[in-house]
Amino acid sequence: MFVVAVTLIAKPDKAEAFRARVRRQAAESLDREPGCHRFDVCADPQTPGRIFLYELYSDEAAFKAHLETRHFKSFDSDVVSLIEDKTVTTWTLLD
């Protein structure tokens, strides 16, 4: 399995809008992509605008397909003005 970990920092005045939009993105990814098995949205209790995403895909090809979906492209476009920082790392889930 292919794991994607993303940390995002929302602009302080955009945190609520960002949280709502990222939760919608998670639901759409799970509903529309058979290769997406998990898409958790986690909030830092000390910093509400700091969001951690844990995404689990069948393989790297499924993640690359995710990046080409209409709903991802819409999400990416929608949140660019809502965030200050974004860090993405990828991992392989050990059996």
- The pLDDT tens digits for 50-64 are 999 999 999 999 999
How far are the Cα atoms of 1, 2, 12, 57 from residue 95, in angstroms, in the given order?
Answer: 9, 12, 39, 14
pTM: 0.94
Cβ atoms within 10 Å of 84's Cβ, excluding its own: 12
CB atoms inside a 10 Å sphere around CB 71:
16
Q: Determine the structural domain holding residue 42 and report its residue range.
A: 2-92
Q: What's residue 48's pLDDT?
A: 83
CATH number at residue 30: 3.30.70.100
* pLDDT above 90: residue 95: no
The answer to whether residues 18 and 25 touch, using CB atoms and an 8 Å cutoff, is: no
Q: How many domains does the chain have?
A: 1
